[in-house]
Amino acid sequence: GAVVSQHPSWVICKSGTSVKIECRSLDFQATTMFWYRQFPKKSLMLMATSNEGSKATYEQGVEKDKFLINHASLTLSTLTVTSAHPEDSSFYICSAEAGQGVGYTFGSGTRLTVV
Amino acid sequence: QQQVKQSPQSLIVQKGGISIINCAYENTAFDYFPWYQQFPGKGPALLIAIRPDVSEKKEGRFTISFNKSAKQFSLHIMDSQPGDSATYFCAASSSGNTPLVFGKGTRLSVIA
């Protein structure tokens, strides 16, 4: 139980285009999901907290207009990287808390490469 | 300000040995302390977690030791195997569906 499915697992896009990453909780409802970014050989950095039915909360330094987050249902949150540039290339990971007894579950991550 | 400090940055252990990774935290509001294992190109996978009401938790070869007064916790991997070679992250969070704060990670290599 407590599975978070993230798609796509990898994507290559051209500079200036937008890319959408989906994060779904498969067997539990998640009113809150978290989006992280991870650079090679580095730790996970929290980008934003996604709240179902309301606006996301972004961490300091994260551009709201570039990283659009939508949490339209209790099982789906999406992250759209708009007008992507090569410096946006990174590993993006979503997470949700499945309950006190289960803890936080992570998606398998999305490797974004902007060329 | 780094809220969770993790050491060492890298660790090499002989097969069958004990791997020990340490973390220290600053925020006394933290009440959940998990350890995650991550392989290249994959998302982190929960290994084991502890709450402050106990000082130790063991699951198979993995043990968390927790020292509330020192604000430190550690992961011990007994009988380390080459398949344990991965990056390990400690993390912490407070109650209320708040995000995890991660340590910088430890790259473990278990050699035969």
DSSP string, chain B: --SEEEE-SEEEEETTS-EEEEEEE--TT--BEEEEEE-TTS--EEEEEE-TT-SEEEETTEEEEEETTTTEEEEEESS--GGG-EEEEEEEB-TTTPPPEE---EEEEEE-
**What SS3 class is residue A87?**
helix
Question: CA of B107: which chain A residue's CA is closest?
Answer: A41
Residue B37 clears pLDDT 60, i.e. is over it: yes
What pLDDT was estimated at residue B82?
Answer: 97
Does the N-terminal peptide bond of residue B8 adopt cis geometry, omega within 30 degrees of 0?
A: yes
What pLDDT was estimated at residue B97?
Answer: 77
What pLDDT was estimated at residue A85?
Answer: 96
Angstrom distance (rounded) from CA B72 to CA B4: 9
Interchain pair B44, A32: CB under 8 A: no
pLDDT in tens, A42-70: 999 999 999 998 899 999 999 999 999 99
Confidence of residue B38 (pLDDT cuts 50, 70, 90): very high
* Pick among A23, A49, A91, A106 to test the B interface (most B CBs inside 10 A): A106
pLDDT in tens, B11-35: 999 999 999 999 999 999 999 999 9
The low-confidence residues of chain A, meaning pLDDT below 70, are 100
What's the whole-number average pLDDT of chain B? Answer: 95
Chain A touched by B102 (CB under 8 Å): yes
Interface contacts A/B by beta carbons within 8 Å: 49
Question: CA of A109: which chain B residue's CA is closest?
Answer: B43
